[in-house]
Amino acid sequence: MMLNSELATAIMNSVDAGFDEQVALTAELVKFPSVRGAEHTAQDFVASALRERGLAVDRWRIDIDAIRHMPGFSPVHVEYDNAFNVVGSHRPRSAKGRSLILNGHIDVVPVGPLDMWTTPPFAPRIEDGWLYGRGGGDMKAGLAGCLAGIDALARLGYRPAADLHIQSVVEEECTGNGALACLERGYRADAALIPEPMWNQLIRAQVGVLWFQVRVRGVPVHVREARAGANAIEAAFPIIEALHGLEEAWNTRREHYPPYETVEHPINLNIGRIEGGDWPSSVPAWCVFDVRVAIYPGQEIAAAKREIEATIRDAARANRFLANNPPEIVYHGFEAEGYVLKDGEEAVALLGRAHRQVFGEALAEIATTGTTDARFFGLYAGIPALVYGPNADSIHGFDERVELESVRRCTQAMALFIAEWCGLEKV
Site string for Zn ion, 193-232 (x = CB under 5 A): ---x------------------------------------
Instruction: Supply the minimum distance, in Å, between the C-beta of residue 301 and Zn ion.
Output: 21
Instruction: Give, for 331, the enclosing helix (H) or strand (E).
Output: strand 328-336
Using CA atoms, how far apart are residues 35 and 106, in angstroms rounded to an integer? 9
Using CA atoms, how far apart are residues 162 and 183, in angstroms rounded to an integer? 19
Instruction: Give, for 239, the enclosing helix (H) or strand (E).
Output: helix 232-252
* Residue with Cβ nearer Zn ion (171 or 196): 196
Is 90 within 8 Å of 163 (Cβ atoms)? Answer: yes
* Residue with Cβ nearer Zn ion (196 or 420): 196
* Count of residues that interact with Zn ion, criterion CB under 5 A: 3
Instruction: Supply the minimum distance, in Å, between the C-beta of residue 196 and Zn ion.
Output: 5
Instruction: Supply the minimum distance, in Å, between the C-beta of residue 386 and Zn ion.
Output: 15
Contact region with Zn ion (CB under 5 A), list: 54-62, 191-199, 203-211, 412-420? 191-199
* Residue with Cβ nearer Zn ion (196 or 400): 196
Cα dihedral sign, 32-38-39-44: negative
Is 92 within 8 Å of 160 (Cβ atoms)? Answer: yes
Instruction: Supply the minimum distance, in Å, between the C-beta of residue 39 and Zn ion.
Output: 13
Site string for Zn ion, 226-265 (x = CB under 5 A): ----------------------------------------
Is 289 within 8 Å of 213 (Cβ atoms)? Answer: yes
* Residue with Cβ nearer Zn ion (172 or 420): 172
For residue 139, cis peptide bond before it (omega within 30 degrees of 0): yes
Site string for Zn ion, 385-414 (x = CB under 5 A): ------------------------------
Is 51 within 8 Å of 88 (Cβ atoms)? Answer: yes
| Range list of H helices, 156-220 | 177-185
Please list every residue from 290 through 349 that binds Zn ion, using CB under 5 A.
Answer: none
Instruction: Supply the minimum distance, in Å, between the C-beta of residue 220 and Zn ion.
Output: 41
* Residue with Cβ nearer Zn ion (108 or 181): 108
Q: How far apart are the first and last CA of the chain?
A: 18
Instruction: Supply the minimum distance, in Å, between the C-beta of residue 172 and Zn ion.
Output: 6
* Residue with Cβ nearer Zn ion (170 or 189): 170
* Residue with Cβ nearer Zn ion (141 or 404): 141
Contact region with Zn ion (CB under 5 A), list: 192-200, 275-283, 405-413, 415-423? 192-200
* Residue with Cβ nearer Zn ion (139 or 152): 139
Measured at CB, which residue is nearest to Zn ion? Answer: 138
Instruction: Supply the minimum distance, in Å, between the C-beta of residue 124 and Zn ion.
Output: 17
Is 219 within 8 Å of 229 (Cβ atoms)? Answer: yes
Residue 151, amino acid: D
According to DSSP, the residues that pair with 425 across neighbouring strands are 159
Q: Which residues contact 249 (CB under 8 A, 6 or more apart)?
A: none
Using CA atoms, how far apart are residues 139 and 196, in angstroms rounded to an integer? 6
Using CA atoms, how far apart are residues 167 and 162, in angstroms rounded to an integer? 16
Burial category of 188 from C-beta neighbours within 10 Å (exposed 0-12, middle 13-18, buried 19 and up)? middle
Give the number of C-alpha atoms closer than 13 A to the C-alpha of residue 13, restricted to the C-beta side: 7
Instruction: Supply the minimum distance, in Å, between the C-beta of residue 135 and Zn ion.
Output: 9
Instruction: Supply the minimum distance, in Å, between the C-beta of residue 352 and Zn ion.
Output: 22
Instruction: Supply the minimum distance, in Å, between the C-beta of residue 29 and Zn ion.
Output: 13
* Residue with Cβ nearer Zn ion (138 or 151): 138
Is 70 within 8 Å of 380 (Cβ atoms)? Answer: yes
Contact region with Zn ion (CB under 5 A), list: 130-138, 154-162, 292-300, 338-346? 130-138
* Residue with Cβ nearer Zn ion (39 or 138): 138
Q: Is 107 in the site for Zn ion (CB under 5 A)?
A: no
Instruction: Supply the minimum distance, in Å, between the C-beta of residue 405 and Zn ion.
Output: 20
* Dihedral, 208, 409, 343, 72 alpha carbons, nearest 10: 30
* Residue with Cβ nearer Zn ion (100 or 139): 139
Please list every residue from 131 through 190 that binds Zn ion, using CB under 5 A.
Answer: 138-139
Q: In what side-by-side order are the strands of the sheet with 385-387?
A: 56-61, 84-90, 164-169, 100-105, 191-194, 385-387
Contact residues toward Zn ion (CB under 5 A) are 138-139, 196
